């Protein structure tokens, strides 16, 4: 079973590489990206090294966190993977320095952590566009490496359109679902969490004139945000379905996060990344992928805490806030009758 799972992870990496390059994984035009791994668990360093090699990367540094915390000045490599399930002030300072170095060097940064440390880790990483994984499985780490191949600026990597990015997001979620099911083979009935449902594609556009509307009507004054009590009722109604059906059946993290952030904005509240992951209704690593995609789409933005630079929050952009306000305004009284 272990050999089969390892082979599956290798195939995942190959397929994601095919997607990024539009060519067979073994035909990468001689490109070999280097990977640096910082993790205290020796078996994890070995595992990441194996997976990186299977995906076509070259393993460079493989060391414990002490070397990272010591401010080692050795070259970062093209990709840096850091495992820090626990975090303290020294680790936060080291991550912040690494984030800046990676941004300046153009290196890809992948950091795995725990739910308890997520907010602190998120606050440290605001420069490099790091991928954050929460208690990831081996398959999720392989997927993160595959996403590096889709992002790296190389001659043969084609520029991804919005549709391509959503396709890749759906592919990675499907692969995670398959990998989780494979991991559960042979386990007692009921063991393990249920696999996350396939992520739906999404497209967000500016307001457009529908049939019978004029351009002036579309440019009408912006409506106010909806009553947060109404939004909270809708959220509770959506969550209540899990009492009667498998929650994965209705998984729609993008919409659930938009609703939660809309209510928070109307309440003049702030939402941490951990809280938003919970509101999404999907595993944290999956939620973080959606947060990243929605941020790139101009729907979400990161806001630093003015009183504590070690904290950061997620909020709607003005574009997204306006879209949600217009949506609820168009729903009108119907929204109240639906909940």
pLDDT(276) > 90: yes
Looking only at the bridges linking them, the beta strands covering 300-304 and 58-63 are unpaired
Is position 144 within any domain?
yes
Residue 195: the pLDDT is: 36
Helix or strand holding residue 302 (H, E): strand 300-304
43 and 154, same domain (yes or no): yes
| Exposure letters 79-100 (e unless 16+ CB within 10 A, then b) | bbbbbbbebeeebbebbbebbe
The answer to whether position 205 is within a domain reads no
Average pLDDT of span 272-280? 95
300 pLDDT more than 70? yes
The residue among 142, 152, 67 whose CA lies nearest residue 108 is 152
The CATH number for 71's domain is: 3.40.50.2300
Task: Verify that 56 and 100 share a domain, yes or no.
Answer: yes
Distance in angstroms (rounded) separating the CA atoms of residues 69 and 63: 11
Q: Dump pLDDT digits (tens) for 136-150.
A: 988 888 888 888 877
Q: Average pLDDT for residues 55-62, to the nearest whole number?
A: 85
Chain segment 166-217, per-residue pLDDT in tens: 555 555 555 555 555 544 544 444 444 433 333 434 455 555 555 555 555 5
Q: 222 and 141 in one domain?
A: no
Domain residue limits at 174: 2-184
Sign of CA dihedral 279, 281, 286, 292: negative
Please indicate, yes or no, if residue 204 is contained in any of the structural domains: no
Is 52 in the same domain as 141? yes
Evaluate if pTM is beyond 0.85: no
In a domain, 118, yes or no: yes
């Amino acid at each position: 079973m272990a050999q089969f799972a390892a082979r599956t992870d290798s195939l995942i990496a190959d397929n994601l590489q095919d997607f990024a390059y539009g060519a067979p994984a073994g035909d990468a035009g001689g490109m070999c990206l280097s990977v640096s791994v910082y993790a205290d668990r020796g078996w994890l360093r070995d595992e990441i090294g194996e997976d990186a090699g299977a995906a076509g990367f070259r393993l460079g540094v493989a060391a414990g966190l002490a070397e990272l915390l010591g401010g080692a000045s050795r070259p970062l490599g093209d990709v840096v993977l850091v495992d820090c399930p626990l975090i303290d002030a020294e680790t936060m300072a080291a991550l912040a320095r690494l984030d800046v170095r990676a941004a300046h060097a153009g290196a890809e940064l992948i950091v795995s952590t725990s739910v308890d440390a997520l907010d602190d880790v998120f606050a440290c990483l605001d420069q490099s566009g790091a991928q954050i994984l929460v208690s990831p499985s081996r398959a999720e780490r392989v997927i993160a490496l595959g996403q590096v191949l889709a992002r790296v600026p190389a001659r043969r990597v084609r520029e991804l359109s919005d549709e391509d990015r959503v396709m890749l997001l759906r592919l990675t979620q499907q692969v995670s679902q398959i990998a989780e099911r494979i991991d559960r083979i042979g386990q007692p009935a009921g063991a393990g969490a249920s696999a996350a449902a396939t992520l739906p594609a999404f497209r967000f556009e500016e307001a457009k004139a529908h049939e019978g509307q004029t351009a002036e009507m579309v440019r009408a004054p912006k409506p106010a945000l909806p009553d947060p009590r109404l939004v909270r009722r809708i959220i509770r109604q959506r969550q209540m379905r899990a009492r009667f059906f498998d929650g994965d059946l209705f998984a729609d993290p993008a919409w659930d996060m938009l609703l939660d952030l809309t209510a928070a904005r109307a309440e003049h509240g702030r939402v941490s990344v951990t809280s938003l992951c919970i509101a999404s209704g999907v595993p944290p690593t999956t939620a973080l992928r959606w947060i990243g995609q929605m941020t790139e789409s101009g729907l979400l933005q990161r806001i630093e805490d003015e009183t504590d630079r070690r904290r950061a929050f997620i909020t709607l952009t003005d574009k997204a806030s306006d879209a949600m306000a217009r949506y609820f305004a168009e729903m009108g009284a119907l929204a109240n009758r639906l909940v």
